[in-house]
Structure 1
Amino acid sequence: MHTNKKAILVSLCVGVILMVAKFVAYAITNSNAILTDAAESIVNIVASSFAFYSIYLSTQPKDENHPYGHGKVEFFSAFIEGVLIVIAGIIIVAKSGFDLFYPKHIQQLFEGAIIIGITGLVNLIIGLYLIKTGKANKSLTLEADGKHLLTDTVTSAGLIVGILIIEFTGIYRLDSIISILVGFYIIFSGYKLIRKSVGGLMDESNVELVGEVVNILQENRHNSWIDIHNLRTQQYGADLHIDCHVTLPYYYDLNKVHKEISDIDQLINHSTTHKTEFFIHADPCLPACCHYCKMTDCPVRAEAFKREIAWNLDNVTKNQKHFSL
C-alpha cells in the first residue's frame, strides 16, 4: 500500500476509536468542554475520509484529461477540512454560549479528564506521524490532517486544565467559558488551513519554494546562462512545475541550446526534494546583455563585461531581461 494511503488509513481508524472514547467521556460528565472535543472528532473522521480519497486520486498517473496529474485535489481536500473545522468551531461556540446562560449539571469530571488526556496523547502521536510522512512525501493533505490532530491535542490539553479547575473550584460556568474559548481557537485554525488551500488552488506563488530554486540556479549558474527571468512555479501535490525564460548566446545551435536547458532541468531535479517538470523558453542574447555576460570566448561581444547581476526573487520573477546594473 502507498505510504500516504497507509498513514491516512491509520489516522481514520484511530479517529473512530477516539471519537467513541470522547463521547463516552461526555456521557459520563455531561460537560460542554468535553462535548467540544468529541464534536471535533467527528470533523476529524469526515476530513480523514475525504483525505483518504484525495490521496488515492492524487497518486493516479497523468492521463489525457489531467496532463498535470491529479495532485491539485489535495488543496481541495485541505479546503474541505478547513471548512469543516470552522463549522465545528461555530457550532461549539453557539451551544456553549447558550449553556453559559442556562447551565447544566456536570459530574465525574476527573474521570472525564483522564479519558480526554489519553485521547490527546494518541492524537499527538498520530499527528506527528502524519506531518512527518506528509513532509517526506510532499503531501499537503497529510500535513493538514496531522496539524489538525495537533490542534486537537492542544485543545484537549487546555480542556483538561479547565476541567480540573472546575472540579477543584466548583465554578461550573467555567465549563461553557472554556468551551467558547476553545471554539474560537478551532475557528482560527480552520481559517488558516482554508487560506493555505485557497492559495494553492489559485496558484499563489510559494515564495519559499521559488527562493530555493533561485538560490540553486544562482549558486550553480553557467557562464552561458546569461539571464533568467519570468520564473513561475505551480505545485500539484508532490510535483512541482516551473517555467521560465533563459537567455543564451544567440549563435548557439539547437543541439547546444537543448543541452543547456537539459542541464538546468537536471540541476533542479537533483538539488530539490520535489519531482520537478521544467518548461524553459530560450531567448537569444542582445548587445545590451554584454556588460553582464561572463562568456570569455564570445565571438560577437559588443561591450566589455562589467559585473555579474545576481539572481534573486525580485529580478528572476519579472518578465524582462536584466539590462540594468
Structure 2
Amino acid sequence: MKQRLILLSFVVSILLMFIKFTAYFLTNSTAILTDALESIINVVASGFAFYSVYLASLPRDFEHPYGHGKIEFFSAGFEGSLIITAGLVIVWQAIMGFLYPKPLEKLDIGLYLVAFSTIVNGAVGLVLQKYGKKYDSLTLIADGKHLFSDAVSSLLLIVGVGVIIFTKQLWLDSVISFVFAFLLLKEGYHLVRRSVAGLMDELNPHSIQEVLEILVKNRQPNWIDVHNLRVQHYGANWHIDCHLTLPYYLDLRQTHDEVERFREFIVAYTGKEVEIFIHADPCLPPENCEACSYQGCPVRKLAYVKSPEWTVENLVKDAKHFRKI
C-alpha cells in the first residue's frame, strides 16, 4: 500500500511539473516559476521516497538486524535538503526579477493551470499524510506534508497573481517569490531537523508518552519498577528496551512469564511491529518493600506505603531502583 501511494505521488508530481512549467512559459512570472521549480523537487523527492519505502519494507537480514526502516529518515532529510535548495534558487530568481524585470503575459491562463495543480497537490498530500500516520511512515508523512504545503503556497500564489492582475503592479511578482522562498526554507529546515533527530535516535516524547500510558493502564503488582526506558523508530517498526524490577525470588520461568506479559501489553496496545528487549532486575528488600504493592510477597520486610508514580522523567532515567519512600 505504501509503495502504491508513493508511486501515485511520483506520477502526479511529473504531470503537475509539466503543467506548472507550461504556466511559467506562458506568463514569464517569477512567482509561477518558483512553483514550477518546487515541482521538480516533488518529482525527485517522490522518486527517492518510492525507493526508500521499498527498501524499508524489506525484512531484517544478517547485515541489517534492525531492518531497513531508517532509510526513511534519509529520505526525509534528502527531501528537506532539496526543498532548501529550491528556496535558495527562488531567492536568486526573485533578485534577478527585481534587477531585470520581464513583461508578464497571459496571467489568467497561468492562473487556471496553477489552480488545477493546487487542487490535485492538496488532495494527494492529505491522502499521503493520512496513510503515513496509519502506517507510521515518516516518508509518506514528509512527502504528504511537502505536497500539501506546495498546494498551500500555490493557493497563496493564486491570490498574489490575482493581486498583480488587479493592481498592474508587476514588482509584486518578485515580492511573492521572496515570501514563497521563506516558506520553503522553513519547511525544508523542519524536515532535515526531524531526519537528523531520527538518525541520532533522539528521544521522541510522543512515543515515550504512548508507552507510558500503556504501562500505567496495565501496571501489575509484580512490576515494582520500570526504568531506563528507550523507544527507537526504524521506519514503521519500534524497538523498545527497558529495565523491569521484579521480586527477587521468582524463578526463571516466572520471570520469563512476567517479561512476556509486559511485552504482550505493549504490542497489543500500540498495534505496531514492536521488538522489545527487557532486562529483569531483582528487587532489593527492604529498600523496595514500601514501594511494592504485591500483597502476596512472602519475604516482605516493611509494609507497603505507596508505589512510585510513573512519569516520562523517571521511566527514562537510568536509575536502577527507587529510593526508600
**TM-score interval for Structure 1 and Structure 2 normalised by the shorter chain:** over 0.9
Shift of 1:261: 0.2
**What is the rounded CA distance, in whole Å, between the counterparts of 2:134 and 2:165 in structure 1?**
43
1:22-65 CA-partner distances (Å, limit 9, x unpaired) = 01100110000000000000000000000000001000010000
After TM superposition, the structure 1 stretch with the greater mean CA deviation from structure 2, 98-107 or 262-271, is 98-107
Aligned positions, number:
323
The aligned residue for residue 291 of structure 1 is 290
The aligned runs of 1:1-325 (5 Å cut-off) are 3-287=1-285, 288-320=287-319, 321-325=321-325
> Is the 8 Å Cα contact of residues 215 and 312 (structure 1) preserved in structure 2?
no
Identity across the alignment (%): 49
Whichever residue aligns with residue 296 of structure 1, its letter is Q
Whether the 8 Å CA contact 1:218–1:310 is kept in 2: the answer is: no
Q: Which amino acid aligns with 1:279?
A: F
* AA partner of residue 215 (structure 2): L
Q: Secondary structure at the match of 2:103?
A: coil
> Post-superposition shift, 1:228?
0.4
Gaps of 5+ in 2: none
Q: Check conservation: 1:315, 1:322, Cα contact below 8 A.
A: no
Distance of 1:207 and 1:47 partners within structure 2: 28
Q: CA deviation at 1:101?
A: 2.2
Separation in 1 of the partners of 2:249 and 2:211? 27
CA deviations on 1:244-267 (whole Å, 9 max, x unpaired) are 000000000000000000001000
Task: Kindly state the Cα deviation for residue 110 of structure 1 after the two structures are TM-superposed.
Answer: 1.2
Q: Is residue 233–residue 242 contact of structure 1 (8 Å, CA) maintained in 2?
A: yes
Q: Distance in 1 between matches of 2:266 and 2:322?
A: 22
How far apart in 1 are the matches of 2:131 and 2:318? 37
Task: Report the secondary structure of 1:283's partner residue.
Answer: strand
Q: How many angstroms apart in 1 are the aligned matches of 2:229 and 2:36? A: 47
Q: Which deviates the most, 250-259 or 307-316?
A: 307-316
More off after superposition, 128-137 vs 6-15: 128-137
Alpha-carbon RMSD across the aligned residues, in angstroms, is 0.8
SS of alignment partner, residue 240 of structure 1: strand
Out of 100-109 and 243-252, give the one that drifted further: 100-109
User: Is residue 288–residue 324 contact of structure 2 (8 Å, CA) maintained in 1?
Assistant: no
SS at match of 1:299: coil
Amino acid at match of 1:311: W
> Using the alignment, how far apart are the partners of 2:213 and 2:49 within structure 1?
33
Counterpart-to-counterpart distance in 2, 1:314 and 1:176: 49
- Counterpart residue identity of residue 323, structure 2: F
Task: Give 1:273 shift.
Answer: 2.9
Contact 1:291–1:305 under 8 Å retained in 2: yes
Q: Which moved more, 1:188-197 or 1:94-103?
A: 94-103
The residue type paired with residue 289 of structure 1 is N
What amino acid sits opposite 2:106 in the alignment? Q
Give 3-state SS (helix, strand or coil) of 2:131's partner: helix
Distance in structure 2 (CA, Å) of the matches to 1:153 and 1:209: 30
TM-score by length of 2: 0.98
Q: Is the 8 A contact 1:232 1:317 kept in 2?
A: yes
Residues 127 and 146, structure 1, Cα contact 8 Å, conserved in 2: yes
Distance in 2 between residues matched to 1:274 and 1:75, nearest whole Å: 18
How many angstroms apart in 2 are the aligned matches of 1:153 and 1:324?
58
